[in-house]
Amino acid sequence: MTNPISQFGLTDRVAVVTGASDGIGRELAFGLASAGADIVLGSRSVEKLEKVKAEIEQIGRRAEVCSFDICKLDDLRRLKVFILDRFGKADILVNAAGYTVTKPAWDVEEAEWDMMLDTGFKGLFFCCQIVGSIMRDRGYGKIINLSSTFSRSIFKGRSVYGGIKAGVSHLTEALALEWAEDGIRVNALAPTAVLTPSRSTVLQGELLERILARIPLGRLATSDDLTNAAVYLSSPASDFVTGHTLFVDGGWVAGS
């Protein structure tokens, strides 16, 4: 019998993380690197990505920076060339790039709608397609899409975001079905509010109280909560898991 602990390592794996300059994307990139993966860091902010790259290199892993706009297909095609040039493969893709506006549905403007949809759904899909084609050629890969508890249980003011995340979870199932024959496992992570450094100033006061009241375990998610789940879905330990949305939410959805 294989040692179960050995199945969680990511040594010699290459992970591509979008939205890696800040927030959840940054935390996931660092977490996967800590588990042994080398990382392709992607977002529009080169300066921020370079800082993440330096932090990853301090723990002895390799990181490469590729600046791109996930809403632009030409940029994603350039990302594919970059990955093949620098690493020759991609074992893991984490779609963490996102954009959201919190306001009543009556007040959502077309430009806000377009940015949320283009970033969180269109860009995510084509990133799966384009980076996933590298995995298809090798017959193996892991794709993790960032969904949300709002895909199942919503707050006022998050109508479009919640709709997009519900779509992400459903799309994840569809891609898992189509791409299983190519050896590609496609899953989603659905966190509740995550206490990252960039969100600590936002998650306060009345908003924090509202969120905590919905979480049976009585606290926000930490970066470790989410990265541990991402390592599992990225590793051989989850090779028989596909088409699944894993809620890392302290019981939010169950309690709702």
Tokens of 64: 């490469």
Cα–Cα distance for residue pair 44/153, rounded to 1 Å:
30
Strand partners, 248: 191
The reply to whether 232 belongs to the active site is no
Three-state SS at 108: coil
Relative orientation angle of helices 46-58 and 23-34, to the nearest 10 degrees:
30
Give the DSSP letter string of 141-203.
Answer: EEEEEE--GGGTS--TT-HHHHHHHHHHHHHHHHHHHHHGGGTEEEEEEEES-B--GGGTTTS
Please pick, among 99, 140, 161, 232, the residue that the annotation labels catalytic.
161
Could you tell me how many residues make up the chain? Answer: 256
Question: Which residues does the annotation mark as catalytic?
Answer: 161
